[in-house]
Amino acid sequence: MNCLLHAFQTVTGLDLVARLGHDGSEVLYPDLDPPMCCRGFHTQELIKASWPEFVCMRLEAWPMMYWAEGKNKQLDHCEWFGQMISESNGIVIGFSNNGIAHAEPCIDGVYDIDKFESVNSFIMVFSTSPPSSAQF
């Protein structure tokens, strides 16, 4: 199973393949080795398929501000980024130890950090349902 799909389905508990109508396995580029030859998924289509039960917010580890060509500034909020991961449910995205893009589910701040060489973003996932103990 595609790692991004697996991460989203683990965090949301939804059958996203049924909602999307495909499993990402369609071979688009037969000259490439799996999994790079397959259609796969884009984060935006999985975010859309998770709606309306869940809303998502993507955080970047190293956001860049651009004003004009050659005029940019990289923001350093690594400590805050790590805190958001440790206190949230979501999808950790980065590159695996073999250099391939990878995603892992993160539940209550727990994910398999050893599978990553670098982490570049985190998609926080929030349920839109009120807690079962909510009183109105």
pLDDT in tens, the chain (136 residues): 799 999 999 999 999 999 999 999 999 999 999 888 999 999 999 999 999 999 999 999 888 888 888 888 887 777 888 888 999 999 999 999 888 899 999 999 999 989 999 999 999 999 998 766 555 4
Domain count, the chain: 1
Instruction: Classify residue 63: in a domain, yes or no.
Output: yes
Instruction: Classify residue 134: in a domain, yes or no.
Output: no
Instruction: Classify residue 133: in a domain, yes or no.
Output: no
Tokens standing for residue 6 = 């697996």
Instruction: Classify residue 132: in a domain, yes or no.
Output: no
User: Tokens 């079962």, residue?
Assistant: 132
The DSSP 8-state label assigned to residue 24 in this structure reads: S
- For the full predicted model, state whether its pTM sits above 0.75: yes
Instruction: Classify residue 49: in a domain, yes or no.
Output: yes
CA dihedral 115, 126, 21, 15 (to 10 degrees): 80
Tokens standing for residue 113 = 């950090």
Instruction: Classify residue 136: in a domain, yes or no.
Output: no
User: What is the rounded CA–CA span in Å between residue 99 and residue 68?
Assistant: 31
Q: Which domain holds residue 8?
A: 3-127
